[in-house]
Structure 1
Amino acid sequence: MPHPGWAAFSFDGIGTSWEISTPGTLDGGQRRRLLDVVEEYDAAWSRFRTDSTVALAAREPGRFRMPEGAGALGRLYRVLYRLTDGAMTPLIGGSLEQLGYGPGYSLRSRGIPLAAPRWDDVLDWQDAAVTTTAPVVLDVGAAGKGQLADLLAAELRSQGVSEHFIDASGDLLNSGPAPVSVGLEHPYDPGRAIGMISLGEGALCASAANRRAWGDGLHHVLDGTTGTPVRTVVATWTLAGNAMTADALATALFFVSGKALEQDFEFSWLTVFSDGSAAYSAGFEGVLFE
């Protein structure tokens, strides 16, 4: 529990576990409204359910209306698509399914890696309207969990719950002002930490090659230009004002340096490379253990 004495509301959503901590216990109506936010998001963006909007886009091209926040999500992806030269893309879903990470979780590769289609060839994303010219498998997992945390925080604020702490399976959003000490998970040993950081108001998100890994060296962070897993980076952490940005930048660090991303985003960061070295921003106020 991040704050002693706070009440916790735990649930599963978008394929992962969540815990929302608040000074007082949320009543049934408040909890239902939070779960409605989760269901609306999952019904739009999940590629693991057959009735989602994303599943429909995978079957046929068309113009699809997405829910609240889609415009901000699309603009963020477009910037990161440009900054990573197409390596980070919302069109990565087909590449993930090619390597076995799709509905049914076969975790068996269908063959050689498959590059994602080029954005401008198949996708036009204008605010909440997503238009495709061919069947595509959208996957916004690099930023979606963070965005959903932000949407849940907005729902809590609308209910008058200004103080809250959201734990989305390790991606954290703190409404402040009391800081929370967080261990930084060792990329090769989940039972150990490589450091600690104090999270004040804002979000702390992480991405690691050991999460959602399968087969012979396969994991979920793929380079959209080749469809292959990134080998040079093993773990990243980011601190930003909102969870969607922090979540997306944690993935972007697998493709470009934090210093390059700082030209467009205000955030702090830590990257751990496969050779055991690390790089971090001047504003990353964590402590790394020896």
Structure 2
Amino acid sequence: MTIWRFDAIGTRWEIEGELSSDDRAAVAAEIERFDREWSRFRSDSDVTRLAAHGGRLMSPDAGPMLSLYRELSTATAGAVDPLVGAGLEALGYDAAYSLRAGEPVAAPSDWTSLVSWSDRDAEVSAPALLDVGALGKGRLVDLVFALLAHVPGGLVVDAAGDLRVRGSAVRIGLEHPFDPTKAVGIVSLQDAALCASAINRRAWGDGLHHVLDARTGVPVQTWAATWAIGADAMRADAVATALFFDGGPELADDWGVEWVRMTTDGRIERSADCRAELFVARP
């Protein structure tokens, strides 16, 4: 298979498969469409407009993503919330990447009172900053994967740690969160998706990183990295986020998602059905 590498949505992509020039153009257009609607880092995005004025965002992703966020929020007792964007900005992870931390900002306790949605749109009743980082990249991987369903043979869509595979099994290392030259285990992935999250990614300052508890606006401290394996990337991505909080393992079990997670002091846990071969001893 040929490999197409490119940068988009602030990350590195690799797509393995026999893609035509038309396929590549279609992928680029779909990524641009999603980014223009949902990126809080673009001054011309719909999300940026809603943050300034409130109002409506027309998107086929609104229903699937926000409905899943409601399940995430319920399972984690409000720790995962699509209005966490203001908290990320307060700590310096803003559109300008200022990385200058101020006081933590908690998300609204009931985000569904401010945000409503249907299958194809979302509405914010007052200015508020949406951040779909808990599952948005997984959603986009699924969209690109579906767009390439006609491509013959095997297919791998990899967006820097969130990936989906069709065809022959692919062996994937689970990167150690404190030493990227090492792996904590290996997964053989076939016709499935794997998504990962870690506090060493998008980290700045002392103890500052992108995984916040929406209830407090403070970065999580107990868990260092998570990995989730599911039938689709959006749910796997959502579980990878939920695993940083109480309720995450139970949600993964309900959705049939396998998982591994590591604490900040190096201990590791896994679901009973997880296929990963681990190199780190469990407690």
Separation of aligned partners in 2, 1:161 and 1:53: 35
Which residue of the partner structure matches residue 239 of structure 2?
Answer: 249
Which residue of the other structure, out of 1, 11, 14, is the alignment partner of 1:16?
A: 11
Residues 74 and 127 of structure 1 are in contact (CA less than 8 Å); yes or no, is this contact kept in structure 2?
Answer: no
Which residue of the other structure, out of 149, 161, 178, is the alignment partner of 1:170?
A: 161
Q: Does 1:53 align with 2:46?
A: yes
1:179-258 alignment runs, 5 A limit: 179-258=169-248
1:237-275 superposed Cα distances (whole Å, 9 cap, x missing partner): 000000011011100100125541145311100111123
RMSD of aligned alpha carbons = 1.3
Superposition deviation, residue 219 in structure 1:
0.3
Amino acid at match of 2:135: A
1:116-145 superposed Cα distances (whole Å, 9 cap, x missing partner): 123133211222221112111111011111
Gaps of 5+ in 2: none
When structure 1 is superposed on structure 2, of 206-215 and 272-281 the one drifting more is 272-281
1:202-254 superposed Cα distances (whole Å, 9 cap, x missing partner): 10110001100001110000000000000010000000000011011100100
Separation of aligned partners in 1, 2:133 and 2:44: 18
Superposition deviation, residue 63 in structure 1:
2.2
Separation of aligned partners in 2, 1:71 and 1:162: 31
Which residue of the other structure, out of 70, 85, 95, is the alignment partner of 1:78?
A: 70
Superposition deviation, residue 285 in structure 1:
1.2
Q: TM-score, normalised by structure 2?
A: 0.95
Separation of aligned partners in 2, 1:183 and 1:208: 14
Which residue of the other structure, out of 125, 128, 140, is the alignment partner of 1:148?
A: 140
Residues 115 and 224 of structure 1 are in contact (CA less than 8 Å); yes or no, is this contact kept in structure 2?
Answer: yes
1:172-219 superposed Cα distances (whole Å, 9 cap, x missing partner): 21012x111111111101111111111111101100011000011100
Amino acid at match of 2:15: I
Residues 258 and 269 of structure 1 are in contact (CA less than 8 Å); yes or no, is this contact kept in structure 2?
Answer: no
Separation of aligned partners in 1, 2:152 and 2:145: 9
Q: Does 1:287 align with 2:282?
A: no
SS class of match (1:142): coil
SS class of match (1:182): strand
Superposition deviation, residue 277 in structure 1:
1.6
Which residue of the partner structure matches residue 115 of structure 1?
Answer: 106
Q: Does 1:42 align with 2:32?
A: no
Separation of aligned partners in 2, 1:38 and 1:64: 17
Residues 239 and 252 of structure 2 are in contact (CA less than 8 Å); yes or no, is this contact kept in structure 1?
Answer: no
Which residue of the other structure, out of 56, 59, 62, is the alignment partner of 1:63?
A: 56
Amino acid at match of 1:226: T
Which residue of the partner structure matches residue 3 of structure 1?
Answer: none
Residues 69 and 128 of structure 1 are in contact (CA less than 8 Å); yes or no, is this contact kept in structure 2?
Answer: yes
Q: TM-score, normalised by structure 1?
A: 0.93
Separation of aligned partners in 1, 2:63 and 2:242: 19
Q: Does 1:128 align with 2:123?
A: no
Amino acid at match of 2:42: R
Separation of aligned partners in 1, 2:142 and 2:275: 23
1:78-115 superposed Cα distances (whole Å, 9 cap, x missing partner): 10011111110111111000000011100111x21000
Q: Provide closer, same or farther for how the CA distance between residues 70 and 162 of structure 1 changes in structure 2, counting only shifts above 3 A.
A: farther
